[in-house]
A and B are shown apart, each in its own frame.
Chain A
Amino acid sequence: MRIKQLSIFIENQSGTLIKVLELMKRSNIQMIACTIADTAEYGIFRIICSEPDRACAALKEAGVAVAISEVFAIEMTDRPGGAADAVKAFSDAGIGITYMYAFLLDGKGIMIIRTDETEKARELIKSQGLPYLCEKDFVR
């Protein structure tokens, strides 16, 4: 039910972002979505991509601090309030969201949710019938 996301530690200075992107390009990995949680000195660069395992290995090989984290990818309904409905389901069930971000994929709005309460989230998605995406949906 969860999908793999790359989490990369980068320093907040010029040249660090392009280094990671060039490595992805060289390994022929397609990025589908990304976001950066930044502070004054460093950032955590999070990426959803095709072949996350191969991407992770290639980055590690190049000495990058990279890890694979597992996140949920929920499909939102395409109308005002679509995001609110998705988050409300988690909120009502008392599940804490560590972070979230959203993007469009093939015309659908996708919300990435990271939570430490994996089992509760799984139950919720199943019981509420929330539409979710699997790893194969990101194969390019």
Chain B
Amino acid sequence: MIWNPTKECMSREQMRELQGKRLHKIVEYVYHNVPFYRNRLQEMDLSPSDIRSIDDIVKLPFTTKKDLRDNYPFGLQAAPQSEIIRIHASSGTTGNPTIVGYTRKDISIWSECMARSLTAYGVGRNDTFSVSYGYGLFTGGLGAHNGVETVGASVVPASTGNTEKHARLIRDLGITGIACTPSYALYLAETMDKLGITKDQIRLRVGAFGAEPWTENMRKEIQDRLCLKGFNLYGLSEIMGPSVSYECDEQNGSHINEDHFFPEIIDPVTLEPLPDGQTGELVFTTLTKEGMPVLRYRTRDLCSLLPGECPCGRTNVRMSAIAGRTDDMLIIRGINVFPSQVESVVLTMKEFAPVYMLIVDRINNLDTLMVQVELRPDFFNATLDTPAAIEELEKRFADKLRSVLSINAKVQIKAPGSIERSQGKSAHVIDNRKLK
């Protein structure tokens, strides 16, 4: 099923034309309503009349997270306060949080985009769908919630926390779909095991997972343990929230709602646009947003665009899975290391639980990397009952890591349950180099 075939299956020429018209309009709108953008455009000798087609987008200035922080709280808001009906804030782990105000039309477009996503996952009015993103300032909870109501399924606003109660509700209410972070899905599976809730007692069918990067191996594990088909749901509050892009039944890249959010891929160092298929930093321009529109916002997410027809019938461009974050990237002895690479190796080892921690340090001016993993109780057996056997397991894991990361990592095997589980965005790195 396709929620909005007119927009999701538009011909490429029609889409480019629509995007061009909308871009011109949004540039004119911010020029007249946001002093920050007016100054930027004037500094570059640009006026809205210079933006005639979507190809002109490369002339426009970028917007960064720092710009949003520097203009805290309402500096980039374009609509008058009387038109704003909701305010969200992104997590401000460093410095000011980012404040995003939405007009009634913004919320309506967001609900539409979320409905497109859920429909692509196969969710409809007969489903009972639990939203287990945090409800509150974070866009995940309420964003997904509105979409579930829009498609007409019964929404269970479970939010995060109280996982045992949630696990029982999944069983008792016959919940068929769930939206949460992939690490929370695994935590939920562990909780169900602990409570003795078995696969034949649950009716889960669809999972919408996002808000943190995940891998194919993780997908296989979640699908197997929760008996559902797991789909990627991508979004960020600076652009809208969840449903900027969504996977279809093919599970091969996420379709971008590009009539509302125009994507580009750039080289994060030179800022030059990269051709389709190449991995670089994802950049979005909001084409229809009223509350807080942004031009060429640098997401710091690394991925590539996958053009071409999709067997599902949708023509909107797909983006690959997120390969990492420009700011998650660790540079260890000059080599780029992404936590997601370590995760992919951990998930190939059946002896380990799907959790890990990277500890980076600098000893005698040399960077060191230690990877901690946790033994899985079910896979601990009599053949592992000597230090030599554990060392052998460590070595096997270290060899696999080296072939993926191209650097040596020290491996430490920990007892079950000793690495902290995340309920939101996973924190997998301790970089002690920053403290010195």
A residues apposed to B, CB below 8 Å: 7, 9-11, 16, 37-39, 41-44, 46, 60, 63-70, 98-99, 114
Contact = CB atoms under 8 A, between A and B. Distances in A.
Interface stretch (B83-91, B354-362, B408-416): B408-416
For the complex, would chain A's binding face be called helix, strand, loop or mixed by DSSP majority?
strand
A127 B391 CA distance: 36
Contacts of A38: 387
A67 B415 contact: no
B427 interface: no
Interface in B212-261: none
Interface of B: 375-377, 380-382, 384-387, 390-391, 412-418
Contacts of A37: 386-387
A11 B414 contact: yes
Nearest to B379: A65
B417 A67 contact: no
A114 B385 CA distance: 10
Nearest to B351: A65
A38 B414 CA distance: 14
Nearest to B390: A42
A136 B375 CA distance: 32
A66 B415 contact: no
Given A37-B387, A44-B387, A44-B390, A7 B382 contact: yes
Nearest to B382: A69
B134 to A, nearest CB: 26
CB-CB nearest 9 A-B residue pairs: A7-B385, A69-B382, A65-B380, A65-B375, A67-B381, A11-B415, A39-B387, A67-B382, A63-B416
Contacts of B390: 9, 39, 42, 44
Contacts, number: 59
Nearest to A6: B385
Given A11-B418, A63-B377, A41 B382 contact: no
25 contacts: A7-B384, A9-B375, A9-B384, A9-B413, A9-B415, A10-B415, A11-B414, A11-B415, A38-B387, A39-B387, A39-B390, A39-B391, A42-B413, A43-B387, A44-B385, A44-B387, A63-B417, A64-B377, A64-B416, A65-B415, A66-B380, A67-B380, A67-B382, A67-B385, A70-B382
Contacts of B391: 39
B234 to A, nearest CB: 34
Considering residues A16, A65, A66, which has the most beta carbons from chain B within 10 angstroms of its beta carbon? Answer: A65
Nearest to B380: A65
B416 to A, nearest CB: 5
B5 to A, nearest CB: 50
A128 B411 CA distance: 45
B410 to A, nearest CB: 10
A10 B387 CA distance: 11
A73 B415 CA distance: 29
Nearest to B387: A39
A46 B384 CA distance: 12
A56 to B, nearest CB: 11
B419 to A, nearest CB: 11
Nearest to B418: A11
Nearest to B374: A65
Nearest to A44: B385
Contacts of B418: 11
Contacts of A64: 377, 415-416
